[in-house]
Structure 1
């Protein structure tokens, strides 16, 4: 099986796994399992932001939230410590799920190891591919999820989240973020967050 076939098969199997998500989201009049839509947005954003991305990075981007609903947030304490523990467990869980699928497709250990390394977010700010992945995650959040999130929370919390997001991004990622067509209200909050 050629590399292109392997990539397509891995994407297909990731999407089948995410297709079991009981949560749905409607976009452009069509209903999707939530994590399928998220994965499609991740791939679409990577293709624009880093069109020459490696195969390992393409794979990681597509499975970054694989089967996330299986470890719900409410299983952990609803505080900062609980949140961080949940995030750590998710990274390991996603890496394990992805590894099994990539082995099934026939990827070599080096590629599988690289996907695992990226899913565990190792060497953020130091490793170029980890940073590209983080930029894509932040861009997808800002473009597709930020405005609905902002409507549910008070401005101080939203600005805090924006500032944390901004700190994780590279200069290239920040430049791309400022091209997103925000509403006036959202743009005002983004401007306040990044200037503060």
Structure 2
């Protein structure tokens, strides 16, 4: 790992260490970033520096844009998600620029964090697959315990649609899902 990449990752962690939301006795976004890095390293051990930075910065300062400040419903949710992607991309771009990264690398990370090119750009897709694995591994059970079977099925189907064919196949290998949920990853 290059020194400048380590500096960017450390800066992302420092920003996330002040997250007031806690998960497993740690700042929520700090824990999420570490989980993203661990899952990226497992799924894509040869990931480029920009992809490694994007994975760690996926939720940088997420708490600063509260979902409650956006309208209810799908339109409000999508507006909030786009704003989050822009915010994450800008924060990480500033950190990368401070460490002397070239503009094309900064732009690549921005595209990944804004999810521009899912299904077309291999690195954007790799990041999306990692996001889905992190969700399934650490966040699905708590989510499922709070929602109806219909909502759970809908979320699993949306998750599967975002993933690559390889990612969906790997989910079926690694997770013991009930048949109804597993079927979403077979389509």
Would you call these one fold, judging by a TM-score over 0.5?
yes
Contact 1:6 1:105 in 2 (8 A): yes
Q: Distance in 2 between matches of 1:25 and 1:99?
A: 26
Q: CA deviation at 1:56?
A: 0.6
Match of 1:56 in 2: 50
Please show how residues 47-86 of structure 1 align to structure 2 within 5 Å.
47-86=41-80
Q: Distance in 2 between matches of 1:187 and 1:103?
A: 46
User: How many residues are paired up?
Assistant: 187
- Does 2:108 align with 1:114? yes
Q: CA deviation at 1:98?
A: 0.7
Q: Distance in 1 between matches of 2:186 and 2:118?
A: 23
Match for residue 123 of structure 2 among 129, 133, 153: 129
Match for residue 33 of structure 1 among 8, 27, 39: 27
Q: Deviations over 1:136-174 (max 9, x none)?
A: 000000010001000000000000000000011011111
Moved over 3 A (4+): 179-182, 186-189, 192-196
Where does the alignment leave 5 or more consecutive residues of structure 1 unmatched? none
Contact 1:160 1:193 in 2 (8 A): no
Match of 2:13 in 1: 15
Match of 2:96 in 1: 102
SS for the counterpart of 1:40 is helix
CA root-mean-square deviation: 1.6
TM-score, L = length of structure 1: 0.90
Match for residue 181 of structure 2 among 185, 190, 195: 190
Q: CA deviation at 1:176?
A: 2.2
Where does the alignment leave 5 or more consecutive residues of structure 2 unmatched? none
Q: Deviations over 1:73-109 (max 9, x none)?
A: 1111120010011011111111111111111222121
